[in-house]
């Protein structure tokens, strides 16, 4: 399943919304890379097992379930989370891009490519719709967490 959507960060039509700059947005995304527990409900552990110049490899643990992923990024541009296939999941990729079509009009574009196959087309369609809704809600929560981190940092 391929799916993408935009979340507007600085909406000029919402006067009480605290404006974020690209650096604050990037800092929040890096928080999600370094310790995803605040961003993924129920996540017990986010352990970095290796680190490179432009990415990390991690183990994420929900109870007894462990998932390996690789995170790569280009500073201030995009972050890509690649989850390895396992017995419980077909794996997938989430790419989050920072877009700025005009100065201070920031957006995050969330692009998903996931693999699942039940062999039942009708079930797959229902499951895909469920995932789309869950992804959108999680992405809105990600932006909410980034805003909280920025407010706590005091640079708004």
Query: Taking the chain (156 residues) in consecutive chunks of 10 residues, what is each chunk's mean pLDDT?
Result: 92 83 96 95 96 95 93 97 80 95 93 71 73 92 93 71
> Which pLDDT score, from 0 to 100, does residue 1 have?
82
Contact 73, 95 (CB under 8 A): no
> Which pLDDT score, from 0 to 100, does residue 94 have?
96
- How far is residue 42 from each of residues 1, 31, 137, measured CA to CA in Å? 24, 17, 15
Going by C-alpha positions, the residue among 105, 150, 143, 109 that lies closest to residue 12 is: 105
* C-beta neighbour count of 15 within 10 angstroms: 6
> Which pLDDT score, from 0 to 100, does residue 45 have?
97
> Which pLDDT score, from 0 to 100, does residue 126 have?
81
- List, in order, residues 6 or more apart from 15 with CB less than 8 Å away: none
> Which pLDDT score, from 0 to 100, does residue 61 have?
94
> Which pLDDT score, from 0 to 100, does residue 139 have?
95
pLDDT tens profile 50-95: 999 999 999 999 999 899 999 999 999 999 999 988 776 678 999 9
Report residue 125 as tokens. 């369609």
Domains of the chain: 2-153 (3.30.530.20)
pTM across the whole model: 0.89
Give the Cα separation of 97 and 106 in Å (integer).
10
Query: Would residue 36 be called left, alpha or beta, if left means φ above 0 and alpha means ψ between -120 and 50 degrees?
Result: alpha
If you search the block for the tokens 């005091």, which residue do you land on?
A: 154
> Which pLDDT score, from 0 to 100, does residue 85 have?
80
């Amino acid at each position: 399943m391929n799916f993408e959507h935009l979340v507007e960060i600085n909406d000029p039509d919402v006067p009480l919304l605290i404006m974020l700059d690209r650096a604050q947005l990037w800092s929040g995304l890096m928080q999600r890379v370094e310790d995803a527990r605040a961003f993924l409900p129920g996540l017990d552990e986010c352990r970095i097992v290796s680190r490179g110049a432009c990415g990390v490899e991690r183990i994420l643990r929900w109870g007894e379930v462990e998932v390996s992923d690789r995170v790569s990024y280009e500073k201030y541009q995009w972050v890509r989370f690649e989850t390895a296939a396992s017995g419980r999941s077909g794996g997938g990729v989430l790419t989050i891009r920072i877009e700025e079509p005009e100065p201070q009009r920031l957006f995050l574009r969330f692009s998903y490519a996931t693999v699942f196959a039940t062999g039942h087309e009708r079930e797959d369609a229902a499951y895909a719709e469920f995932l789309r809704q869950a992804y959108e809600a999680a992405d809105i929560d990600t932006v909410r967490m980034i805003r909280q981190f920025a407010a706590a940092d005091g640079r708004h």
